[in-house]
Amino acid sequence: MRDGKSLQAGTSHYLGQNFATAFDIKYLGGEGVLQTAYTTSWGVSTRLIGAIIMTHGDERGLVFPPVVAPVQCVIVPIAARKGGVIEKCEALKAELEGAGIRVTLDASDNSPGWKFNEWEMKGVPVRIELGPRDIEAGKMLCARRDTLEKLEMPLENAAESVKALLSSVQKDMLESARKRRDERIVYADDIDGILAGVDAGNFVKAGWCGCRECEDKIKEQTGATARVYAEGEEKETCAVCGKKSEHVIIYARAY
């Protein structure tokens, strides 16, 4: 909050003066008139990718939600040198690609265990293991990256099954992330409460009178800074000065 008035004021100042000047984007409208585009910047190339990594990643590496994963599914042949295995994996890959699934086939000479670790580290949502016994049984073994759960699925209508699994992974990852976020939101009525909240690794909602001095005091004593308004919420008093609160702010530390 550069001017101490509001987060929105600072954002509008940046977008209105700096961003629009640097990127004067125009387009030809439906009436044939050149118009200026409404644009914004959310740091997609860095901040959003970083947020995905920090939200979903684990000790094994990346965990990508299916909708943004560069590769949604990897096929790992088991006993690849045995007759018909690679051919069946290639056919499965073609079927999944035909259904719009972003899929790759790892037919390298590395061991299956090495491949499992490699693709887990890269965060691919679903891994399919396919070997001679699976083919004979008309099944494939699917491993979810988010839960590490393994499921047997029929090879018949494989694309439909994999699409349904990807949808389930997407839904479960979103719900899990929301649950973790909500569990990390606490409320505070004073600076000591804000300090206790951020020391425990939480987001802290507290009242703010709109005064820059109060915001600076919170930063000085807790190391936390204002992140965003808690829209639609009210608190009677400012957590610092006790005066009437104008906004409820979410405070957090940057790491």
Q: Does position 248 have pLDDT exceeding 70, yes or no?
A: yes
Tell me: do 77 and 176 sit in the same domain.
Answer: yes
- Can you tell me the distance from the alpha carbon of 75 to that of 35, in angstroms, rounded to the nearest whole number? 48
95 is a domain residue? yes
Q: Is 195 found in the same domain as 135?
A: no
Confidence (pTM): 0.75
Do 177 and 196 fall within a single domain?
A: no
| Pair 174, 108 in one domain | yes
Residue 92 shares a structural domain with residue 177: yes
| Rounded Cα gap, residues 50 and 71, in angstroms | 18
Shared-domain flag, residues 197 and 158: no
pLDDT at res. 179: 96
> Model confidence over 171-195: pLDDT tens digits?
999 999 999 999 999 999 999 999 9
**CATH number for the domain harbouring residue 243:** 3.30.110.30
Domain ends where: 181, 201, 235?
Answer: 181
CB 103 within 8 A of CB 118: no
Q: State the average pLDDT over residues 136-152.
A: 96
Is residue 98 located within the same domain as residue 169?
yes
Q: Are 163 and 101 in contact (CB under 8 A)?
A: yes
Please count the structural domains in the chain.
Answer: 3
| Boundaries of domain holding 11 | 7-36
**Which CA distances in Å does 202 have to 147, 184, 220?**
24, 5, 18
Do residue 95 and residue 131 come from a single domain? yes
Confidence of residue 23 (pLDDT cuts 50, 70, 90): low
Section 61-78 average pLDDT: 96
| pLDDT tops 60 at residue 18 | no
Q: How much is the pLDDT for 90?
A: 97
Residue 46 has pLDDT above 90, yes or no: no
Task: Write down the pLDDT at residue 9.
Answer: 36
Q: Are residues 154 and 95 in the same domain?
A: yes
Residue 240 forms part of a structural domain: yes
Q: Please give the pLDDT value at position 20.
A: 42
152: in domain:
yes
Q: Which pLDDT value is given to residue 21? A: 46
Does 24 reside within a domain? yes
Query: Is 49 part of a structural domain of the chain?
Result: no
How distant is the alpha carbon of residue 52 from its chain centre?
3
From 181, 202, 236, the end of a domain falls on: 181
Q: Is residue 48 part of a domain?
A: no
- Is residue 111 a part of any domain in this protein? yes
Q: What is the CATH number of the domain that holds 160?
A: 3.40.50.800
Predicted confidence band at 166 (pLDDT cuts at 50, 70, 90)? very high
Check: CB of residue 71 under 8 Å from CB of residue 48.
no
Examine residue 64 and state whether it is found in any structural domain, yes or no.
no
- Chain-centroid distance of CA 1 in Å reads 26
State the pLDDT confidence band at 107, using cuts at 50, 70 and 90: very high
Shared domain for 19 and 88, answered yes or no, is: no
Domain stop point among 162, 181, 200: 181
Q: Which residue has the higher pLDDT, 57 or 19?
A: 57
